Amino acid sequence: MAKWGQGDPRWIVEEREDGTNVNNWHWTERDATSWSKAKLREALVGLVVESEAGRCETTELKQVEGEASCSSRKGKLIFFYEWNIKLGWKGTIKESGAKHKGLIEIPNLSEENEVDDTEVNVSKKKGDGEILKDLMKTAGTAKVREALGDYLKALKTEFTMGMILPTKALQNQELTVKRKLSENTLQASSPVALGVKIPTVALHMTELFDTTVEQLYSIFTVKDLVQKFSKSSAVLEAEKGGKFQMFDGTITGEYIELLTNRKIIMKWRCRSWPEEHYATVALSFVPALGQTELQLDCKGVPICKEENMKFCWQKQHFEEIKCLLQLITLNG
């Protein structure tokens, strides 16, 4: 027989009052269905998107069917969620004041798909108002996916608090880390900003535009043009050290360097990223036989947000800018 304090650590009761689920070995499960329904309502109702054409808002959670749960085994968390969601939305066309209503359907939000790939279907009641439907299909869909991401983040952090119990080994490890951080701070000649390191990736994308370098450069630096392609309000101070805000505050950052008609370098962050984390985005404008090649180089994108960043630039920037250029050409 093993002496007290020896043997298989799975069965050793540590010195704490509860003495249960030692080292998080046993299977535990927590139902997240009711909590999720309330959280989804909080995240999805009241989302607003606005452009020069009109303003739309999600007004009610008409249906939320499904379930969610979280399980713990051997110190690991396992999530299950499957939702069918329907949202009501309403909008107003600014020019005429006409009001329209519609529906947003999310048929399958589950752990099998990335939130950025989750299907979001937008429909509208019969009649005019297609411009509002288009606004909801672009900026509205992006905002809905962002809200779903916020729900999943809360599910994996807020809801699971207390499911993984601290062990002596973990406590000793945390004390060691804190001691090393303290020593490093004392040794540094200037204060060191301590934060959580996250894994990041670099992106490189290129796109051809049927326009001049000067015009494409202006689309990224003139407030009115930014608001037109983003179909939302924007704040721009297009100078070194100037701040910017796009897509109603979803994207924020600062201009690091501007070389007129050649290059723009920015600090860039999405609202859903970890607090105070910025990527560096460099845009290079290269003439190419009657066209302009835009070269995007981005460093420091959170690895879990890589696909979202690609979607943001391809769908919400490149494709929308091309639509804007076509309108400018048509209007002479």
Q: What are the Cα distances from residue 104, in Å, to 60, 152, 224, 273?
A: 10, 19, 29, 25
CA distance 113 to 124: 26
Give pLDDT, residue 161. Answer: 66
Q: What is the pTM of this model?
A: 0.46
Give pLDDT, residue 20. Answer: 47
Q: What residue type is 267 in one-letter code?
A: K
- CB-CB neighbours of 147 under 10 Å: 20
Give pLDDT, residue 75. Answer: 62
Closest to 143 in 3D by CA, of 47, 27, 281: 47
Contact predicate 253/268, CB 8 Å: yes
| Three-class DSSP category at 59 | strand
In order along the chain (332 residues), what is the average pLDDT of each group of 10 residues? 44 42 55 89 92 93 91 75 94 92 94 88 87 92 93 82 49 49 45 56 93 95 92 90 90 94 95 88 93 94 87 91 89 70
Give pLDDT, residue 157. Answer: 79
Q: What residue type is 288 in one-letter code?
A: A
Query: What burial letters (b/e) apply to 289-302, b meaning 16+ CB within 10 Å?
Result: eeebbbebebebbb
CA distance 293 to 216: 10
Give pLDDT, residue 74. Answer: 62
DSSP 318: I
Give pLDDT, residue 295. Answer: 95
